[in-house]
Amino acid sequence: MDTVDAIVIGSGQGGVPFATTLAEQGKRVVLFERERFGGNCINWGCTPSKAFLAAAHAAGRASAAGVLGVNCRVTVDFPKVMERVREIRDRFARSTQSRIEAAGVEVVEAEASFTGQGHVQGGGRSFSAPVTVIDTGSSAALPPIPGLQETPYFTNHNIWELERCPERTLIIGGGFIALEIGQGLSRLGSEVHLLLRGNRVLASESPRVSAVLEEALQRDGIVLHRRTEAKRASPLAGNRVALALNNGETLEGDALLLATGRRPNTEALHVDRAGIELDERGHVRVNDHLESTRPGVYAFGEAAGQPAFTHVSWEDHRRLLATLAGQPRRRDDRVLAYAVFTEPQVGRAGLSPEQAAAKGIAVREGYMDIGNTNRAIEWGHGLGFFQLTVDAESDRIIGATLVGYETAELVHVLLDLIETGATASQLEPLQHIHPTYGEYLPSLAQAARQPE
C-alpha cells in the first residue's frame, strides 16, 4: 500500500484539472481511469455530439435556405461525417492523457474500488491519501423493456460508431440527448421517430420551450409519438428492430437509440466498504462542500448528483480547491446555466418563472417573440422567443430563457448580469449593437418593467 497526497478516480472534466493543479503544485497525485481519458464530455457527450451537429446543422441550414432565395441540393457523406466525429473525439482524449502525464500525475489504467480502510485499489495496486475525489460520471439508464437485451440498440455511448445513416431511427426519450441526436440524424437523412412517454419534449422546461422545439423538429420531418411506451423490443433481420407499442401498434426501424436518463457510475467502487453512503439513485451523498459521509472523500459532477453539465463538474474542481484552501465555496454557489444545441437552440440561465414561483418568489416577466425582430426577419429565423425573469421586490434579474439562433452564446450576457446582481433597470438603458439579437435584451428588460 502506497501513501500519496491525493487520489482521483476518473478523468472527467472536474477530476483532470483537480489532479493536474495539485501535481503542478508538487503534490503526489494518483489518477485511476478504467476506460477512455476525458470522461463523458470528450468521449460520449459534448465533443462527439457537437462535432456531429456541426455537420447536421450545416446540412439543415443549406436545405432550408430556399426562403432566402438560395436553393441547395445537399449531399451528405455520412461515413465522412462520423469519421470526423471520431477523429476529434480521439484527438481530445489523447490530449487529455498527455496533459495528465505532463503534469506529473501518476496514472493507473484500471477500475478502482474502495477497501474497508478507505484505501483505493485497482490494477494490483493500493493507495491511501488524505484527499480522494470520485469523478466517475454517468452512463445511460436503460428502460425495463422486455426483449431489449436480445435487441440491438444504441445509447450515446456507442452511437458515434455508426458507419451508415439509418433509413429509419427510433428514439425513446425526449430530453437533451434524444433531441440533439434525433434532429442531427434527421438532417443527415434518417427518418426519425421520437417516442415520448409524456405529452411534450423537454418536459423539464416551460411549455413555451417545448412548443417551439416541437415545431422545429416537425419541420425537419421528425415524427413525434406522444404518450407512447414500448411494451416489447424484438430483433429483426439485418440488425433492424421492432417495438410493440402501448397503443397496439408495432414500429420498425433500422436503428434504436435509448435516451431515457442517466445513472451514476458508482456501483463498481464498492463505496459501502469505506462507509461512503449513496442516495436512492446511486449518487455519492455529499454535503454542501462536496464531501461524502467519509471525511476526506469528495465527489464531483454527476457522481455527486450535481447538474449533469461539464461546466458544473469543472466548477466543482475549483470549489474543492478553494475549500481545501480554507475559502467558503459551496456546491451550488454559481447560477446554473445550460444550453440545448438543437436548432433553434435553448439558452437557459437561473430561474424560469415556474421555478421562481415554486420557491415562493414573486416575479415580473419580460417576453418577446423573436420572429418579430429585425434580425430574425432579415435572416429568416422565425422560431423562438426571449424571456426574462425579474424579482418583483428587488428588481434583480434572476433568470432567462432564450430560444433561437445561437442563444447558447447570447445567454451569457444575462448569466453574467445575474451573477453580478444586476437589475432590470440597469439593463434597460444600455445601448447594444444594431442589427443583432443582443440589441433586444434592453427591450426585454423594458418589457419586464414594473407597471405604473
Residue 262 near residue 105, CB atoms below 8 Å: no
The pLDDT value recorded for residue 369 is 96
Q: According to the annotation, is 178 in a ligand binding site?
A: yes
Residue 180 near residue 216, CB atoms below 8 Å: no
- Domain boundary assignment for the chain: 2-139+263-324, 148-260, 337-447
The whole-model pTM stands at 0.95
Q: According to the annotation, is 69 in a ligand binding site?
A: no
157 belongs to the catalytic site = no
Q: According to the annotation, is 176 in a ligand binding site?
A: yes
Q: According to the annotation, is 261 in a ligand binding site?
A: yes
In angstroms, the CA 97 to CA 445 distance is: 46
- Reply yes or no: is the peptide bond before residue 435 cis, omega within 30 of 0: yes
The pLDDT value recorded for residue 452 is 56
Q: According to the annotation, is 174 in a ligand binding site?
A: yes
Residue 183 near residue 218, CB atoms below 8 Å: no
Q: According to the annotation, is 136 in a ligand binding site?
A: yes
Q: According to the annotation, is 80 in a ligand binding site?
A: no
* Non-local CB neighbours of 199 within 8 Å, separated by 6+ positions: 226, 227
Task: Read off φ and ψ for residue 8, nearest 5 degrees.
Answer: -120, 125
Q: Among the options 57, 317, 381, 434, which is catalytic?
A: 434
Of 83, 100, 80, whose CA–CA distance to 39 is shortest?
100
Task: Read off φ and ψ for residue 415, nearest 5 degrees.
Answer: -60, -45
**Region for 200 from its dihedrals, namely left if φ exceeds 0, alpha if ψ lies in -120 to 50, beta otherwise:** beta
In terms of CATH architecture, what is 337-447? 2-Layer Sandwich (3.30)
The pLDDT value recorded for residue 449 is 85
Q: According to the annotation, is 393 in a ligand binding site?
A: no
Of 303, 284, 277, whose CA–CA distance to 15 is shortest?
303
> 191-194 long-range CB contacts below 8 Å, 24 or more apart?
191/167, 191/221, 191/223, 192/168, 192/220, 192/221, 192/222, 192/223, 193/168, 193/169, 193/222, 193/223, 193/225, 193/251, 193/253, 194/222, 194/223, 194/224, 194/225
Q: Which three cell numbers stand for residue 327?
A: 475559502
Tell me how crowded residue 362 is: count the other CB atoms within 10 A of its CB: 9
In a 10 Å sphere around its CB, with 0-12 CB exposed, 13-18 middle and 19+ buried, how is residue 52 labelled? buried
* Alpha-carbon dihedral 352, 353, 358, 361, rounded to 10 degrees: 110
Q: What's 107-146 look like in SS3?
A: EECCCCEECCCCCEEECCEEEECCEEEECCCEEECCCCCC
In angstroms, the CA 317 to CA 300 distance is: 7
Question: How big is the CA angle at 146 (ends 142 and 152), to the nearest 5 degrees?
Answer: 65
Is 337-447 the same fold as 2-139+263-324? no
In angstroms, the CA 258 to CA 253 distance is: 13
In terms of CATH architecture, what is 2-139+263-324? 3-Layer(bba) Sandwich (3.50)
Q: Which three cell numbers stand for residue 401?
A: 430563457
Q: Which stretches within 220-373 are classed as H helix?
A: 310-324, 353-358
Q: Would you write out the chain's pLDDT as a tens digit for each of its 452 residues?
A: 899 999 999 999 999 999 999 999 999 999 999 999 999 999 999 999 999 999 999 999 999 999 999 999 999 999 999 999 999 999 999 999 999 999 999 999 999 999 999 999 999 999 999 999 999 999 999 999 999 999 999 999 999 999 999 999 999 999 999 999 999 999 999 999 999 999 999 999 999 999 999 999 999 999 999 999 999 999 999 999 999 999 999 999 999 999 999 999 999 999 999 999 999 999 999 999 999 999 999 999 999 999 999 999 999 999 999 999 999 899 999 999 999 999 999 999 999 999 999 999 999 999 999 998 999 999 999 899 999 999 999 999 999 999 999 999 999 999 999 999 999 999 999 999 999 999 999 999 999 987 65
Q: According to the annotation, is 175 in a ligand binding site?
A: yes
Calculate the alpha carbon distances from 203 to 80, 172, 213, 334, 386 in Å: 34, 14, 11, 24, 19
In angstroms, the CA 287 to CA 331 distance is: 8
Beta bridge partners of 107: 31
Q: According to the annotation, is 181 in a ligand binding site?
A: no
Task: Read off φ and ψ for residue 205, nearest 5 degrees.
Answer: -100, 175
Instruction: Assess if CATH 3.40.250.10 describes domain 148-260.
Output: no
